[in-house]
Amino acid sequence: NAGVTQTPKFRVLKTGQSMTLLCAQDMNHEYMYWYRQDPGMGLRLIHYSVGEGTTAKGEVPDGYNVSRLKKQNFLLGLESAAPSQTSVYFCASSYTKDTQYFGPGTRLTVL
Amino acid sequence: GENVEQHPSTLSVQEGDSAVIKCTYSDSASNYFPWYKQELGKRPQLIIDIRSNVGEKKDQRIAVTLNKTAKHFSLHITETQPEDSAVYFCAASIMDTGRRALTFGSGTRLQVQP
């Protein structure tokens, strides 16, 4: 099992550009999450999904959109990137045992 | 919503000493409290968790205690080793709901001096 994977690992964008981050899990987990991690602020929840076809807002959803068309994939989109979105993005998934498994992260820089 | 505060932000101990990290939470409905360890440049990994129906849980050198009345929980690491050096995050959530997302503390950077 690959567990939770994220694509890409690194990305540099210019202000106003768009991009999509892909999270994939092969553990048949129902729940998937996107977090961002900034220095001194821990991990903050952007959006999450409790099953295929469902999404919900987290703590810091502005400027991001998500989709969960397939159970194993959770996509995070930035329509018009801003420097404030420079961060490390982590995807996570969980089943009913509550333990969340994290992906390796995507380091995004917006210039 | 839930708010989790974590202290201290940095902690330096000598190898072999104990380390204690404390967290408080605001939502009395929270009933699941995991601790994650994150090494530099790596993903957070679960090291121990506790549910609100128990007051203490231990796994080798790591233990977590929970005080529901005071709404705080702590991570205890005994006989620290250099490989324990990392950032530790506490978190809280309400299980058995559709949300299940975690609210994290801001992290504690633990440095174990050899």
Predicted local distance difference test score (pLDDT) of residue A74? 98
Which amino acid type is present at position B78? Answer: T
| Token pair in block for residue B41 | 């440049």
Chain B residue numbers touching A23 (CB-CB < 8 A): none
SS3 assignment, position B84? helix
Predicted local distance difference test score (pLDDT) of residue A109? 97
Q: In B13-103, which ranges are continuous DSSP H helix?
A: none
* Mean pLDDT for the stretch of residues A86-90: 97
Lowest mean pLDDT, pick from A5-9, A50-54, B100-104: B100-104
Q: Do A102 and B102 touch (CB under 8 A)?
A: no
Residue B69 is given by DSSP the state T
Predicted local distance difference test score (pLDDT) of residue B70? 94
Say whether pLDDT at A97 is over 60. Answer: no
Of B107, B100, B88, give the one whose Cα is nearest residue B45: B88
Lowest mean pLDDT, pick from A67-71, A97-101, B62-66, B81-85: A97-101
| Min Cα separation A42/chain B (Å) | 4
| Count of A-B CB contacts under 8 Å | 55
What is d(CA B10, CA A44) in angstroms, rounded to the nearest whole number? 20
Does B107 lie at the interface with A, CB-CB under 8 angstroms? yes
Q: Which helix (H) or strand (E) segment is B72 a member of?
A: strand B72-77
Predicted local distance difference test score (pLDDT) of residue B97? 64
For residue range B59-75, what is the model confidence (pLDDT) as tens digits?
999 999 999 999 999 99
Chain A residue numbers touching B34 (CB-CB < 8 A): 98-100
Beta bridge partners of A93: A32, A101
Please report, for residues A4, A9, A103, A108, B107, the alpha-carbon distance to residue A88 in angstroms, rounded to integers and kept in the order given.
16, 10, 11, 6, 15
For residue range A28-85, what is the model confidence (pLDDT) as tens digits?
999 999 999 998 778 999 999 989 999 999 999 999 999 999 999 999 999 999 999 9
Predicted local distance difference test score (pLDDT) of residue B25? 96
Predicted local distance difference test score (pLDDT) of residue B19? 98
Predicted local distance difference test score (pLDDT) of residue A49? 92
* Mean pLDDT for the stretch of residues B23-28: 95
Predicted local distance difference test score (pLDDT) of residue B98? 60
Predicted local distance difference test score (pLDDT) of residue B100? 67
Residue A85 is given by DSSP the state G
